[in-house]
Amino acid sequence: MTTATQGYDVIVIGVGGMGSAAAYHLAARGQRVLGLEKFTPAHDRGSSHGGSRIIRQSYFEDPAYVPLLLRAYELWEQLGTDADCEVIRRTGGLYLGPPDSLTVAGSLRASREWSLPHEVLDSAEIRRRFPLFTPAPDGIAVYEPNGGFARPELTVQAHIHLALRAGATLSFGEEVLRWAETDSGVTVTTTRATYRADQLVVCPGAWAPQLLADFGIPITIERQVLYWFDPIGGTAAFADQPIYIAEDHSGTQIYGFPAIDGPTGGVKTAFFRKGIVCTPDTIDRVVHPPEIEEMRDRVAALVPAVSGPCVHTATCMYSNTPDQHFVIARHPGGTRVTIACGFSGHGFKFVPVVGEILADLVIDAKTAHPITLFDPQRLVTSGNNLA
């Protein structure tokens, strides 16, 4: 093992969704950046894969996210222009359920609080405008014209491309073993070398419990499954459909997409927050027949045509905090470490703005973006303080 002599301003651990965006924004501001990634570019071993991720502004999780989403949308558009590829597509978003459900009431609250374009549709209007859907008679929906989807692999590749073009050094297939902060900087030891820099950004994804163990941030890793079904009658009728999130009376949510990968790609759907606790080393990558049948039964109750054969499955991982809000902060126990983790299954739509925030925190030690909600101190129990 060697010790790198070249100096860096910033080392970024993890070059997935958040890390690739951070590397780009830092390099674009003139920082000398080294990015370290255990796997290949835009890999499928973590959370930033699967062909599509929902983007939306009518945010039922908390209206406090909306300003970040408005900025994220601007950066998504800029990313697509700069990288000359389609990283997002606006299809409209349909958020269905009982009137008092989180999906409907929360989306409506955010829409009204921030004056977002939206409509409220009753069951009959849903069926009229979107005849593939068969909502419950007492169900309603919030329709958001700005909903749509992002392309996770293309997004990571675009940020990597732009980071390299801005002068960043990115190393793939290089696992980080440990890191440390010193009075004069940080050191990061990998399977190949030990590197030195002034600042460190840690974007560990599902590897947060290992890489951030000393921080005392409680993060649970959860196995999630993605499904693609070949709809009855083919995919043509699904080409122009909105993305959707649907909640039933039990509070279970499913989500889905239009047909975006051609006639053989199927239609993607999944449960939201119905996973199995795991680790990156113990996750079961096999999707079992009873899981497929459960998903088919649930989605077919809402979209009957999605009851054909399952043509593809994939697994990914959520990194959940107890309150399902993110962790983005300068580490209060040091002056040189910035962390971004615990995105709890709803973080990818924020990727570009998280990259901007991390660059702010590294360079200026503060950001104008509202991130108080993401302070890790809220999660740390007494006797295990981060300071």
pLDDT in tens, 41-51: 999 998 988 99
In contact, 345 and 224? CB cutoff 8 Å: yes
Confidence grade of residue 26 (pLDDT, cut at 50, 70, 90): very high
Confidence at residue 273, expressed as pLDDT on a 0 to 100 scale: 86
Confidence at residue 384, expressed as pLDDT on a 0 to 100 scale: 46
Q: What average pLDDT score do residues 211-227 get?
A: 91
Q: Is the pLDDT of residue 334 over 90?
A: no
Confidence at residue 216, expressed as pLDDT on a 0 to 100 scale: 84
In this structure, what is the dihedral angle of CA atoms 162, 164, 167, 170, given to the nearest 10 degrees?
130
Q: Which tokens go with 204?
A: 């560990």
Q: Phi-psi region for residue 180, left (φ > 0), alpha (ψ -120 to 50) or beta?
A: beta
Confidence at residue 385, expressed as pLDDT on a 0 to 100 scale: 47
Confidence at residue 387, expressed as pLDDT on a 0 to 100 scale: 43
The DSSP secondary-structure symbol of 48 reads: S
Q: What average pLDDT score do residues 326-330 get?
A: 95
In contact, 167 and 20? CB cutoff 8 Å: no
- The partner residues of 55 in beta bridges, in order of sequence, read 148
In contact, 15 and 23? CB cutoff 8 Å: yes
Confidence at residue 333, expressed as pLDDT on a 0 to 100 scale: 66
In contact, 186 and 197? CB cutoff 8 Å: yes
Confidence grade of residue 290 (pLDDT, cut at 50, 70, 90): very high
Backbone angles phi, psi at 11, to 5 degrees: -110, 135
Helix (H, G, I), strand (E, B) or coil at 285: coil
Q: What average pLDDT score do residues 205-212 get?
A: 91
In contact, 230 and 387? CB cutoff 8 Å: no
CB atoms within 10 A of CB 276: 14
Q: Report the share of the chain in percent with pLDDT over 90.
A: 88
Q: What average pLDDT score do residues 345-349 get?
A: 96
**Angstrom distance (rounded) from CA 79 to CA 90:** 15
**Angstrom distance (rounded) from CA 278 to CA 281:** 8
Confidence at residue 172, expressed as pLDDT on a 0 to 100 scale: 97
- Rounded to two decimals, the pTM is 0.95
Confidence grade of residue 150 (pLDDT, cut at 50, 70, 90): very high
Q: Is the pLDDT of residue 382 over 60?
A: no
* The residue type at 286: V
Q: Among all chains, which residue has been given the structure tokens 């859907």?
A: 133
Indicate the average pLDDT of the chain: 94
Q: Is the pLDDT of residue 263 over 70?
A: no
* The residue type at 25: H
Higher pLDDT, 176 or 217: 176
Q: Is the pLDDT of residue 192 over 80?
A: yes
In contact, 31 and 25? CB cutoff 8 Å: no
Confidence at residue 101, expressed as pLDDT on a 0 to 100 scale: 97
Confidence at residue 1, expressed as pLDDT on a 0 to 100 scale: 60
pLDDT in tens, 165-179: 999 999 999 999 999
CB atoms within 10 A of CB 364: 9
Q: What average pLDDT score do residues 198-205 get?
A: 97
Confidence at residue 6, expressed as pLDDT on a 0 to 100 scale: 62
Confidence at residue 264, expressed as pLDDT on a 0 to 100 scale: 63
Q: Which of 225, 195, 379 is nearest to 298 (CA)?
A: 225
In contact, 31 and 10? CB cutoff 8 Å: yes
Q: Report the share of the chain in percent with pLDDT over 70.
A: 95
DSSP H stretches of helix in the chain:
17-28, 66-83, 107-113, 123-129, 152-165, 208-211, 289-302, 351-364
In contact, 344 and 321? CB cutoff 8 Å: yes
Q: What average pLDDT score do residues 59-79 get?
A: 98
In contact, 350 and 80? CB cutoff 8 Å: no
> Which range in 210-219, 238-247, 372-381 is most confidently predicted, on average pLDDT?
238-247
- The partner residues of 169 in beta bridges, in order of sequence, read 34
**Angstrom distance (rounded) from CA 65 to CA 350:** 9
Q: Which of 51-65, 116-130, 263-277 has the lowest mean pLDDT?
A: 263-277
The DSSP secondary-structure symbol of 274 reads: -
Q: What average pLDDT score do residues 205-219 get?
A: 89
DSSP-derived secondary structure for 333-366 = T-SSEEEEE--TT--GGGHHHHHHHHHHHHHHS-
**Angstrom distance (rounded) from CA 35 to CA 13:** 6
